[in-house]
């Protein structure tokens, strides 16, 4: 292995270790610390997304209003999850799209529909899923004792699936999974990640038995399936823009969207399952 490749590998490993330690550490410290960390992540990820959308030069997204609106949506959901405000205040978020429409009236752009659509899309695609991660602290939606178990397990399964999908695909991969969107992904890698993700769920069911083995296997399957679609969706975006990474904020890993693409679709899906089937 060349010196350049070795240096890149070490950069990737060190960045990954710091990334994992920061997220797990914030979860263990407190719900508030985690929520503040992901408020920062939300703001930077939305900025990253909006910049990508403007690369073709014909779209002028409302970057600042969009990020502010996304932060407001995130904060209101977090405050509800912390039981600091009533759920009725979530209705304030319904005003935000109206403000985006009004702001666009005064911008004199050539593509107002695209500008409005992508501004609002950034909120739904990024801000709301990150806010939902906070709700996984307590699937009953009634915050009380700090309980990080579910959220830690969510990330552990996500990361194990991603890591072993990469390793299995690198060692055994031959059959392309979705070549049009992501040429490097293989069926062998996806199956390997799925198997090790289920093994992780098996271990988790002993450490966190409240949900039981069957439910953990189902949750792991949801995380893996929707995480894979989240990865492919972001790859579709990048492919349409002819770029490799969404950004360079994480050395060796690319942008924030590159690291959280799977979570953006997996978090809402897991939250829906828990509240529909485990909290009846």
State pTM to two decimals.
0.91
Q: Burial-class residue 103 by CB neighbours within 10 Å (0-12, 13-18, 19+).
A: middle
Q: Which residue matches tokens 């709301």?
A: 128
Which pLDDT score is estimated for 1? 47
Per-chain mean pLDDT for the chain: 88
Tokens representing 78?
A: 């977090």
Tell me the per-residue pLDDT of 12-55, one tens digit each, with 9 for 90 and over.
Answer: 778 888 999 999 999 999 999 999 999 999 999 999 999 998 88
**Do 227 and 234 form a contact (C-beta atoms < 8 A)?**
no
Band (140; pLDDT cuts 50, 70, 90): low
Shortest CA distance to 77 belongs to which of 92, 65, 62?
A: 92
Identify the helix (H) or strand (E) that includes residue 224: helix 213-241
* C-alpha distance from residue 43 to each of 74, 192, 276 (Å): 10, 34, 30
C-alpha 260/C-alpha 248 separation (Å) is 14
Phi, psi at 137, each rounded to 5°: -60, -30
DSSP result, 101-132: HHHHHTT--S-HHHHHHHHHHHIIIIIHHHHH
CB burial class (10 A; 0-12, 13-18, 19+) of residue 189?
A: buried
Q: What is the rounded average pLDDT of the residues 108-128?
A: 94
Model confidence pLDDT, tens digit, residues 152-211: 999 999 999 999 998 998 888 788 988 888 888 899 999 999 999 999 999 999 988 878
Q: Phi and psi of 182, rounded to 5°?
A: -140, 90
């Amino acid at each position: 292995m060349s010196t350049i490749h070795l240096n890149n590998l070490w950069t990737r490993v060190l960045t990954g270790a710091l990334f994992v330690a920061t997220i797990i550490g914030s979860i263990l410290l407190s719900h508030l610390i985690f929520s503040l960390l992901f408020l920062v992540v939300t703001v930077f990820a939305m900025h990253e997304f909006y910049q990508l959308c403007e690369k073709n030069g014909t779209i002028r997204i409302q970057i600042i209003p969009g990020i502010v609106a996304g932060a407001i949506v995130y904060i209101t959901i977090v405050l509800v999850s912390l039981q600091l405000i009533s759920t009725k205040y979530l209705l304030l978020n319904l005003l935000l799209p109206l403000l985006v429409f009004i702001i666009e009236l005064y911008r004199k752009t050539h593509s107002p529909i695209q500008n409005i659509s992508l501004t609002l899309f950034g909120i739904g695609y990024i801000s709301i899923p990150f806010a939902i991660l906070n709700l996984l602290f307590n699937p009953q939606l009634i915050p009380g004792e700090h309980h990080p178990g579910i959220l830690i397990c969510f990330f552990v399964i996500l990361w194990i699936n991603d890591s072993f999908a990469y390793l299995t695909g690198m060692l055994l991969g031959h059959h392309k999974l979705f070549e049009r969107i992501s040429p490097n992904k293989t069926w062998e890698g996806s199956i390997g990640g799925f198997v090790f993700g289920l093994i992780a769920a098996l271990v988790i069911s002993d450490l966190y038995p409240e949900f039981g083995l069957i439910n953990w296997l189902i949750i792991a399957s949801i995380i893996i399936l929707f995480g894979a679609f989240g990865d492919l969706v972001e790859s579709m975006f990048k492919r349409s823009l002819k770029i490799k990474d969404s950004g360079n904020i994480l050395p060796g890993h690319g942008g924030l969207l590159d690291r959280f693409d799977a979570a953006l679709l997996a978090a809402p899906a897991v939250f829906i399952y828990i509240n529909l089937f485990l909290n009846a």
